A and B are shown apart, each in its own frame.
Chain A
Amino acid sequence: MSSGPPQSPAVAKTEVTVEGECPLLAATFAYWDNILGPRVRHIWSPRCEQPLLLSDSEVTFLANHTLNGEILRSAECGAVDVKFFVLAEKGVIIVSLIFDGELKGDKNTCALSIILPQTELAFYLPLHTVCVERLKHIIRKGRIWMQKGYNIISVLTSEIVPIMELLSSMKTHSVPDNIDIKDTLLNDDDIGDSCHEDFLHKAISSHLQTCGCSMVVGSNPDKVNKIVLTLCLFLTSAEKKCSRLCKADSSFKYDTGLFVQGLLKDSTGSFVLPFRQVLYSPYPTTHIDVDINTVKQMPPCHEHTYNQRRYMRSELSALWKAASEEDIAPDTIIHTDEFFTPDLNIFQDVMHKDTLVKSFIDEVFMLKPGLNLRSTYLAHFLLILHRKALTLLKYIEDETQKGKKPFRSLRSLKTDLDLMVEGDLNIVMAFAEKLRAGLHSFVFGKPFYTSVHERDVLMSF
């Protein structure tokens, strides 16, 4: 590149070995030097089968670019702002997270960025939220590290590398948008041909109750993938693009933020679930074991969010208290804290039965397979769910004057909208939660928080 600001004297670089194709060109950490202006501190680049398209100087130029204009930044301390560039002239997409941090005793504006080719725009957009949320949290940790004068790069590396691996795995194993129903359990001649009827019902029901967020674990990759594809039938197009099939030979790691992911057990028949990552998922998750046909689910959204937040606070607090860089590794699981002991048994049995999925499953198998009838019937079913969710949302909106008043008429809602069965309500609420984040907390939060508070008070005696 012929133009651009002078390069930083020495930009440290980490090359990350990634299996297969990595759509990420580079990741950078830059900061605004009060004397020299934007400077790049570190570059991460993937080392994979395909050569990197950008030179270091180009990466540096682009990284500097992300900080332009940020001298005007007036965000609150601790805020992380996201900037998303599509620079056709350079043919790249840049996702930048801008935050403030202390470097060498000065308060600086910093930018953590990932750079992708512009051709990957459609691939990346559905994954944007996943990447950003994960990067935001690592930045929270990084800021503490910077405040303490420790090296932020190691903290950032602990998330940049998994994100590269995630994007790489999604390139090869993401769920196709147009799932052929023949590849799913809904193509069976009769219910129960491939799996037990009740298992299928529970799996789909719980999957929908947990906002379409599920992990499918098993020893047979074909079996796992069939369930993954079946569950993905109930997702939107964008959500499917955030779902991943299981790899045939070895397992991917669990990735926070994906909707459905297939995970392969190891040779001993076990799969280690990272507690923190599961808890950091934006929605509660359903755990489906296809080997033993079990379905378990995490608590509903408001409880999940509460647990997640408490754990995050504990984790950040533990980092804050760390006496040295080695004292606590960034990805250490925080087990206890003086106020909060996480319940490691986060998956529970599916408690609430529903009628919506039950009738769907009963009825869909009445239609002859192979004639596209079942796909049409599925579309009918999903349309009803989406419409019910919007109706519920509107109902609550009316009742509460858009949240200005507390919602007190749950019983009427159930009667009016034909959601008397608890499982049905959970499913529709889950759909509505995706449309309006925080709805669960708004509707169910207060009694829950009160009961948690009471429990805490009682436990403190």
Chain B
Amino acid sequence: MIGSPDVVAFTKEDVFGDCVYPDPWVIPEEFSVPLFPQANNANPWAKTSYAKFTKDFILISEFSEQVGPQPLLTIPDDPKVCGTFDLNYFSLRIMSVDYQASFVGHPPGSGYPRLSFVEDSRVVLGDSKEGAFAYVHHLTLYDLEARGFVRPFCMAYVSADERKIMLQFEELSLRFSRASECLKTGNRRAFARELQRKLRDLEYTRSVLQKEEGLQREAGPQGCYSAHVVEKANELAAVEKSIYEHRDLLKQITSYPLRPRRDPHAAHCQRCVTESQTDAHSSHNAHTHPDTSPAVRGEEGERRQSYTPQLIKGKSAKCFDKRLKTLTELCQESFYDATVELLTDTERCFRGDLCYLHTRRLDRALRRKQNITNFLFEEELGEEEEEVAALGRIFCSLTHTKEAETRLHNPSIMLCPVKDMEVCTPCPASSALLSDALAGDERLELSLSDLTMETQDQESSEENKDSFSSDRSGGGDGGEKESDENVCPNADSNAITDRNADPNTDRADKESSSEDGGSSVLEDEGGEEADHTPIFLLEVEPGCGQQGGRTDSGCEPEAGMEAHPDSLVQMDTACCMSQEGFLYDSSPPVKLPGSGLGPTSLPLPLVVNQEPQAMLPFQGAYSLGSPHCQGPVAGLDLPVKSLGDTASRGSDQDSSDCTMSASAGSEQIGLPVGYRGVVTLRQRKKAGQGALKFVRQYPFALQALWSLLSGRTLVVLGSEEGRVRRLVSALALYVPGPGRCGERVQPWLSCPFSLTDLQSWKLIGLQRMASPVGTSMLCSLSRYSRYISVLDADQKTLRCPSYRGSLLANMADHRTHIRRGSTYFLHLQSMLSSLATRAFLLSFTHHLHLPIIPGEKRQEVEERRRGFLKDQLGLADDDCNVLLYLSQLITKHYLDTETTPHLEADNTSVTTHQDPESVSMPDPATGGAVSHQDPESVSMPEPATGGAVTHQDPESVSMPDPATGGAVTHQDPESVSMPDPATGGAVLSEQYLDPAKPLSATRGRNPPSFTYHYTTSQVFKI
């Protein structure tokens, strides 16, 4: 029998062998590569697991001449972010990169110390052991007390993902360059001020010494100088020398902007350079010809009085027990604040996973190339930092940001609706707010990442799901809200805030307000510095340029946002459930892009005149909250809850409620739309969760989606406002061309609507009421049942035509395994993009819309088009309707944007279509009269063309072509025909598909049209 000791000997042989006698032919692991790249952490998400910090942050460090490298500040300033990461060690590492061999001190041949103006340097480095990588931006600040007058600093963006830094190197570099320029400018101003004071002290000391020396000389015997006198004379000479040195330093620092820049990537502003040249020149003149401008000197003299010079010793003590200035002391406060805000903005902007940041950029670049269809399902595009950089419009953080920033960030600034904008004052030097706005909806990635934090429970819980407050508690949102809240309390209710306000303008505001308040600190300091130093170095210009700028663009409403006086209509408060004294007129001066499409083409004023009933919903819809409101007006009874405590908080969603509805719900529910506020990606993403729930919960979701996507208005009926709003919010994602501000979605309506409203709204949330008004509403529902689908949120039923197709199947599969709303939103985005792509194809495939042979009838063309959809794309009838509707929208949008001026002039020909199955629409290109012969039908003339309409039925509304005029003949009560978007709407010839060719060239032809069939509705229940 073999004993265990014998076995042990065998088993251990290999182990010992390995340890004691390593095989020299086997390559050690340190010289090889792992077989599996992610052997240690087998999943691609875990690459940052060994980093000791939780998320990216910005670190500002200094190489102190007393204590060496030390961390000063982190952004965000939260210890949790850095975790156990050793900031001291990392500061040592990043500051020990000797970035410049810059010379300081007395250069050979020069009697005075020279300031070295070194360019910033940028380094990307990492510590693979710590899992920390950093973009490090080194810069030098000036300090009169420091060794060589320089204080080396660096600002570092620290991340666990090296690739993230390298892939975004240029943007990081741009942003940090801006922050650096801001900090350095503030520092130069502070340095110049310090020099000024020092000069004043020296001059005062000199005068004292001169007096003393004179007295001593007079007191002593003639021609004989005592040791004391000699000492005084030496001291005087030292002071004289010091004065010269300091004057020279002052001269050097003022000439800083004039030096040639060696850094092609520095963020400098040409206007700054020009101004500084002028100022430096005048400063130089003041130095060389001190008596030439007595007025100036007199003024300077007055300002000098604000500082009391002190007697100082000729040599300043430079020892290690002195206290070095802090970063805030080294830099003027406003500039320091602006720098921190810029960096905070940078941190926010780069927050999140690289793949989302990267995809966002690609997404935007691609969407820019497909402007024609973006209006269908995409949120509005703003302008990005890198695009700004690419355009060479690097804006100055110092004094000249106004124009650039206003131009740049307007769209994304409008994250919050009008009300928010109104109660906010011009923001403080707020690049932070800018950043909010800038990053705003564009921070897809971070939010997507953040959205992954949603829990399954949240999604399954209706209450939690729509509570945005939980989302706001997240980093980005929270910051944004906080900013808003910080700003809003200081609101000037009369001024509409330009959230793009120039930081410097705001600083100027601060300064001027402090002046108003009697505080003279800044004024005094500015005054004292004015004697030798150019103004641009001394203070932020509060002058008329900026002040004026603020008045011009900062205090005035923005183009699309302004409350036009004409749009404020006095209304009868008895008509509505609650409202302010004024209502916001729904008809904007400029026609909304989405208006006038197909069945919705009647201009609103016409509706009001011809259909008195329409006034009720009109008022109800639009008058329920003044854009100027800051809270509920006394005496108004809100049915559920006062607006004040919820809607005025500054949240974009909540504020939309204020302007849209009379009764804010008991729950805070975000709207999918912001009335006169841009619908943002963030809002849409939040709605994605509701959409997923809708798809999962309602087996007939597909039918509802089909209604929306094929242009049939969907009414969501319910007694509980919160539920209806949630449903509308979710379903709004599927509304094609909802409008920039979601004009085609009415989230909550408490009054009956009319047929004309169906032109404006494709999705309506309707209140169910047990009252005469409620009965009237139900009547309107049944009256228009041919044209609408009704989703009863209380009964959980849907009445609409049934959908038989496959195109949308993957969009609304209630068995889907997609778990999260954010994921479903992404999925939906790609599905809707596919639809838009096919609609684009349909709209711009030439042979589908043009007669192939002379005399080919419109119906034949129409058949060919349907044949294309069925045969080539393999679509069912119902799917065809979706694409035809989208194609129609595209064509209208294309024509509206390309050719509106041409259409207005044509008033000549008249077209009457008599197809019994369809109602012909006046061709916008040809014009035509429209006559109504069917009381139930609705004709939709081309809104862009204009024209007279004869109404024969109170229920029918014809939409004349304003430009061409004409009557529409309705012969089929069951059908509603719309102008052919692809062809007839206007695109009749090949030229129309070519944006380069004018549309008017083909106007004279009679375009084909297609008939839009509204089929019999069915009722779906769960």
Q: Chain A: residues with CB nearer than 8 A to chain B? A: 3-4, 61, 65, 68-69, 72, 74-79, 81-89, 91, 118-119, 121-122, 125, 128-129, 140, 143-144, 147, 236-238, 305-306, 309-310, 312-313, 316-317, 320-321, 362-363, 366-368, 371-373, 375-377, 379-384, 386-391, 393-395, 397-400, 402-404, 409, 412-413, 415-418, 435-439, 441-442, 445, 449
**Complex interface: chain A residues within 8 A of B322 (CB):** none
| B68 in the interface (beta carbon within 8 A) | no
Known: A79-B128, A320-B31, A418-B831. 11 other contacts (CB 8 A): A88-B265, A320-B27, A321-B27, A368-B844, A376-B370, A377-B841, A386-B366, A387-B833, A394-B448, A412-B817, A413-B817
Given contacts A89-B102, A371-B994, contact A436 B125 (CB under 8 A): no
CA gap between A418 and B806 in the complex, in Å: 12
| B373 in the interface (beta carbon within 8 A) | yes
| B21 in the interface (beta carbon within 8 A) | no
Q: Please, could you name 14 A-B residue pairs with CB atoms under 8 Å apart, sorted by A?
A: A81-B126, A84-B125, A86-B122, A88-B121, A89-B100, A366-B845, A380-B836, A390-B826, A393-B355, A394-B452, A399-B817, A435-B355, A439-B44, A449-B36
Q: Is the CB of B37 within 8 A of A305?
A: yes
Q: Is the CB of A85 within 8 A of B100?
A: no
**Complex interface: chain A residues within 8 A of B264 (CB):** 88, 118-119
Q: Is the CB of B366 within 8 A of A316?
A: no
Given contacts A309-B37, A373-B844, A416-B813, contact A398 B820 (CB under 8 A): yes
Distance (whole angstroms) from the CB of A62 to the closest CB of chain B: 10
CA gap between A349 and B166 in the complex, in Å: 36
**Complex interface: chain A residues within 8 A of B841 (CB):** 363, 366-367, 377
Distance (whole angstroms) from the CB of B468 to the closest CB of chain A: 21
Closest to A449 in B: B36
| B303 in the interface (beta carbon within 8 A) | no
Q: Is the CB of A69 within 8 A of B93?
A: yes
CA gap between A42 and B32 in the complex, in Å: 25
| B6 in the interface (beta carbon within 8 A) | no
Q: Is the CB of B31 within 8 A of A147?
A: yes
The number of inter-chain residue pairs (CB within 8 angstroms) is 267
CA gap between A438 and B993 in the complex, in Å: 44
Can you list, as one digit per residue, whether each of B10-54 has a CB less than 8 Å from chain A (1) or not (0)? 000000000000000111011111111110001111100000000
**Complex interface: chain B residues within 8 A of A389 (CB):** 359
| B562 in the interface (beta carbon within 8 A) | no
Given contacts A371-B993, A386-B359, contact A88 B120 (CB under 8 A): yes
Q: Is the CB of A72 within 8 A of B93?
A: yes
Most buried by A among B25, B43, B844, B845: B43
Q: Is the CB of A377 within 8 A of B837?
A: yes
CA gap between A68 and B448 in the complex, in Å: 40
CA gap between A121 and B370 in the complex, in Å: 30
| B990 in the interface (beta carbon within 8 A) | yes
Can you list, as one digit per residue, whether each of B112-151 has a CB less than 8 Å from chain A (1) or not (0)? 0000001111111111110000000000000000000000
Closest to A128 in B: B166
Given contacts A3-B101, A310-B35, A435-B355, contact A85 B121 (CB under 8 A): yes
Q: Is the CB of A404 within 8 A of B35?
A: no
Distance (whole angstroms) from the CB of B310 to the closest CB of chain A: 38
**Complex interface: chain B residues within 8 A of A382 (CB):** 362, 366
Count of B interface residues, CB-CB < 8 Å: 96
**Complex interface: chain A residues within 8 A of B359 (CB):** 386-387, 389-390, 435
CA gap between A245 and B359 in the complex, in Å: 26
Closest to B27 in A: A320
**Which residue of A3, A371, A416 contacts B103 across the interface (Cβ within 8 Å)?**
A3
3 residue pairs, one from A and one from B, having the closest CB atoms: A403-B43, A88-B263, A69-B96
**Complex interface: chain B residues within 8 A of A320 (CB):** 25, 27, 31
**Complex interface: chain A residues within 8 A of B127 (CB):** 74-75, 81
**Complex interface: chain B residues within 8 A of A397 (CB):** 45, 452
CA gap between A84 and B100 in the complex, in Å: 15
Q: Which of B373-396 contact A (CB under 8 A)?
A: 373
**Which residue of A78, A366, A403 contacts B45 across the interface (Cβ within 8 Å)?**
A403
**Which residue of A78, A89, A380, A413 contacts B370 across the interface (Cβ within 8 Å)?**
A380
**Complex interface: chain A residues within 8 A of B26 (CB):** 317
Q: Is the CB of B366 within 8 A of A89?
A: no
Q: Is the CB of B98 within 8 A of A368?
A: no
Most buried by A among B45, B97, B127: B45
| B365 in the interface (beta carbon within 8 A) | yes
**Complex interface: chain B residues within 8 A of A83 (CB):** 97, 123-126
Can you list, as one digit per residue, whether each of B810-830 has a CB less than 8 Å from chain A (1) or not (0)? 100100111110110011011
Closest to B165 in A: A84
Distance (whole angstroms) from the CB of A102 to the closest CB of chain B: 11
CA gap between A427 and B44 in the complex, in Å: 19
**Complex interface: chain B residues within 8 A of A81 (CB):** 125-128
Given contacts A85-B122, A368-B846, contact A386 B363 (CB under 8 A): yes
Q: Chain B: residues with CB nearer than 8 A to chain A? A: 25-27, 29-38, 42-46, 92-93, 96-103, 118-129, 162, 166-167, 169-170, 173, 262-266, 354-356, 358-359, 362-363, 365-367, 369-370, 372-373, 448, 452, 810, 813, 816-820, 822-823, 826-827, 829-831, 833-834, 836-837, 840-841, 844-846, 872, 990, 993-996
**Complex interface: chain B residues within 8 A of A91 (CB):** 262
Distance (whole angstroms) from the CB of B812 to the closest CB of chain A: 12
**Which residue of B46, B122, B373 contacts A403 across the interface (Cβ within 8 Å)?**
B46
Q: Is the CB of B36 within 8 A of A409?
A: no
Given contacts A309-B37, A390-B359, A436-B45, contact A82 B169 (CB under 8 A): no
Q: Is the CB of B365 within 8 A of A237?
A: yes
Closest to B810 in A: A418
CA gap between A122 and B169 in the complex, in Å: 10
Closest to A118 in B: B264
Q: Is the CB of B846 within 8 A of A375?
A: no
Q: Is the CB of B129 within 8 A of A75?
A: yes
Q: Is the CB of A435 within 8 A of B358?
A: yes
Distance (whole angstroms) from the CB of A137 to the closest CB of chain B: 9
Closest to B830 in A: A387
Distance (whole angstroms) from the CB of A403 to the closest CB of chain B: 3
Given contacts A398-B452, A442-B44, contact A383 B833 (CB under 8 A): yes
**Which residue of A316, A363, A398 contacts B27 across the interface (Cβ within 8 Å)?**
A316
**Which residue of A65, A129, A439 contacts B166 across the interface (Cβ within 8 Å)?**
A129
**Complex interface: chain B residues within 8 A of A305 (CB):** 37
CA gap between A264 and B126 in the complex, in Å: 40
CA gap between A383 and B93 in the complex, in Å: 42
**Which residue of A121, A368, A379 contacts B369 across the interface (Cβ within 8 Å)?**
A379
**Which residue of B162, B810, B830 contacts A384 across the interface (Cβ within 8 Å)?**
B830
Closest to A79 in B: B128
Closest to A368 in B: B846
Q: Is the CB of A437 within 8 A of B44?
A: yes
CA gap between A85 and B30 in the complex, in Å: 27
Given contacts A86-B265, A399-B819, A437-B44, contact A417 B37 (CB under 8 A): no
**Complex interface: chain A residues within 8 A of B42 (CB):** 403, 442
Distance (whole angstroms) from the CB of A144 to the closest CB of chain B: 5
**Complex interface: chain B residues within 8 A of A363 (CB):** 841
Distance (whole angstroms) from the CB of B149 to the closest CB of chain A: 18
**Complex interface: chain B residues within 8 A of A122 (CB):** 170
Given contacts A395-B823, A435-B358, contact A380 B840 (CB under 8 A): yes
Q: Is the CB of B33 within 8 A of A316?
A: yes
Distance (whole angstroms) from the CB of B441 to the closest CB of chain A: 16
**Which residue of A362, A387, A439 contacts B363 across the interface (Cβ within 8 Å)?**
A387
Q: Is the CB of A4 within 8 A of B837?
A: no
**Complex interface: chain A residues within 8 A of B366 (CB):** 379-380, 382-383, 386
Q: Is the CB of B993 within 8 A of A368?
A: yes
Given contacts A380-B833, A390-B826, A416-B816, contact A309 B124 (CB under 8 A): no
Q: Is the CB of A312 within 8 A of B844?
A: no
CA gap between A384 and B126 in the complex, in Å: 36
Distance (whole angstroms) from the CB of B113 to the closest CB of chain A: 17
Q: Is the CB of A312 within 8 A of B355?
A: no
**Which residue of A61, A76, A140 contacts B31 across the interface (Cβ within 8 Å)?**
A140
